[in-house]
Amino acid sequence: MTELAEIKCEACRAGTPTVTEEEIAGFRQQIPAWHIITRDNIDQLERTYTFRNFVDALAVTVKVGMLAEKEFHHPDIQTAWGKVTVTWWSHKIKGLHRNDFILAARTDRLYGEG
C-alpha cells in the first residue's frame, strides 16, 4: 500500500461518496493513533498530541494550519497547554473522505518533526 502521507489529495465536491468501511480499515493501519468519532451524525478523525509546553503545541498548531491552507482542507484544531487536538472531516460531504486520512498521516509527520 502506498504511504498515505505521500498520496495527492483530490478535490472533494458535494455528493462525493464517503470512504467505505474497507477503505477505512486499510487507511487506519497507517494512522493507528487516530480515532473515528461521531459528532452531529458526522464521522470525523481525531487525535490529541502531547507536548512539553504551550510554545511547542502552538508551533505544531501553526504547521497544521499551514498544511490545511496548502490543501484547501481545514480541520478543527484545539490548542491548550501541552496538547493539540486535531479533527479532520470533509465538510462538503459531511463525513470522511480519503483526503482526511491523507492529512491525518501528514499531521502525524509534522508532529514527528517536532
Per-residue pLDDT tens for 80-106?
A: 999 999 999 999 999 999 999 999 999
Going by C-alpha positions, the residue among 69, 23, 21 that lies closest to residue 77 is 69
CA gap 101, 81 in Å, rounded: 26
pLDDT at 11: 87
Q: To the nearest 10°, report the CA torsion of 22, 38, 58, 64.
A: 40
Enumerate the H helices of 3-97 as residue ranges. 21-28, 54-71
Helix axes 54-71, 98-113, angle to 10 degrees: 140
Query: Domain 37-114 belongs to what architecture?
Result: 2-Layer Sandwich (3.30)
pTM higher than 0.85 for the full model?
yes
